[in-house]
Structure 1
């Protein structure tokens, strides 16, 4: 009897059943853990989004302090239709640009954040485009003239470290500060990332210096800035007493 019991325990069927039970238990534990952490993960993403928005207007904070400073400096959140009207019953903060960009432009909504820092007004526009390997995204803030860049922040899903991934570095982001988005004829051109002899002190040339070896990522940054900003012109032009900057 004892020998039969040992043989049963060492059989393939027993091993297979044990493996199935182990897989089920591990899967259940992982599923429970993922479900339990989901609210925390969502909150972290929400706070990081606030950090990025605030960074464009020169307000730096950690995740823990993001909500308080966001409430202090962001005075308005609006989602816009293509004609510049405000989309009713749309939570601008919850708009997912990745999903919006898959829609026809006429059906997209365009989130906009308005900030007030020591009496100065800023408009913050979310950005999203394509880099070399995957999506690139960020935010750009404009001063009250809707022409001068206050600040910008960028991130990516898969650009090459040391090359395209440099868009996240402070030196690159700071190069956009005080740049103009309209050319001398009043046309919206955004800010282009270009190779060549770029004078960083010239803030009227609509250009910043490119990242060495990251031409495609730089082009992606240029394209997403001009493509996203153009959708906000109807809104700015509709503002009472507001003049869209031209030169």
Structure 2
């Protein structure tokens, strides 16, 4: 066939498209198990991070198994569901179901002689989904730490929820108000409370009001899913209603 002909060019182009498509498909299929494993270990890293354990991806599973002593898959009444692996629950998919059918994962961790409750979070920012984890001390009221992430928030503005300086603001904040109502922690524009850890508020990110509102709503809504469970825990000394 004449290499200078249109037919040759057309056939060559089709052949190249097929070769590239097959190569990309094979590569994606080959890497899929590795990608899933990386996501699984990153999830362990994030959970551990809320209680102050910073670790590499390679060490994450060992430390997770050491410090996470129990995993609960709860229904909306706070009862544990049988036969469900809490770690494998996809909260994004659960929140699309009627609340009576949803499953809420909760992790009990022990670190440096203290117990912590760690709950996954999911909500909406300015442009897309935001998510993360929050760890509560054994009073189920005081925040030990948080981790936030996002899909499409604006760099330098809403995307700052992933930074240490913002997440540190939540440490030692309370999720119950003085009357015992679960209110979460509000991200407040123009906050003037200084280092007050009992007002259920933190300062917002400048220029990211909507993302901050999304964090506020996410914390309140997701934590209330665990209120029935906390009520059943007799050793918890907070007022819950």
Does TM, scored on the shorter chain, surpass 0.5? yes
Instruction: Please point out which of 158, 177, 200 is paired with 1:206.
Output: 200
- Asked if structure 1 preserves the Cα contact closer than 8 Å seen for 2:191 and 2:202, the reply is no
* Aligned position for 2:223: 229
- Asked if structure 2 preserves the Cα contact closer than 8 Å seen for 1:126 and 1:140, the reply is yes
**Distance (whole Å) between structure 2 residues aligned to residue 217 and residue 203 of structure 1:** 22
User: What SS does the corresponding residue of 1:175 show, helix, strand or coil?
Assistant: helix
Instruction: Please point out which of 85, 90, 98 is paired with 2:84.
Output: 90
Instruction: Please point out which of 117, 126, 141 is paired with 2:120.
Output: 126
* Aligned position for 1:149: 143
**Aligned-pair distance for 1:192?**
0.2
Instruction: Please point out which of 160, 172, 191 is paired with 1:178.
Output: 172
**Distance (whole Å) between structure 1 residues aligned to residue 135 and residue 202 of structure 2:** 16
Gaps of 5+ in 2: none
**Aligned-pair distance for 1:243?**
3.1
1:242 counterpart = 2:235: yes
- Asked if structure 2 preserves the Cα contact closer than 8 Å seen for 1:194 and 1:207, the reply is yes
Number of positions where the alignment pairs a residue of Structure 1 with one of Structure 2:
240
* Per-residue CA distance 1:100-157 (angstroms, 9 max, x = gap): 1111111110000110012211000000000000000000000000010000010000
**Aligned-pair distance for 1:13?**
1.6
User: What SS does the corresponding residue of 1:9 show, helix, strand or coil?
Assistant: coil
Instruction: Please point out which of 68, 73, 76 is paired with 2:67.
Output: 73
* Aligned position for 1:137: 131
Matches within 5 A, 1:103-122: 103-122=97-116
**Aligned-pair distance for 1:15?**
1.3
**Distance (whole Å) between structure 1 residues aligned to residue 120 and residue 43 of structure 2:** 10
- Asked if structure 2 preserves the Cα contact closer than 8 Å seen for 1:129 and 1:220, the reply is yes
**Distance (whole Å) between structure 2 residues aligned to residue 115 and residue 144 of structure 1:** 10
**Aligned-pair distance for 1:244?**
5.2
* Aligned position for 1:52: 46
Gaps of 5+ in 1: none
**Distance (whole Å) between structure 1 residues aligned to residue 135 and residue 191 of structure 2:** 26
TM-score, structure 2 normalization: 0.97
**Distance (whole Å) between structure 2 residues aligned to residue 227 and residue 163 of structure 1:** 23
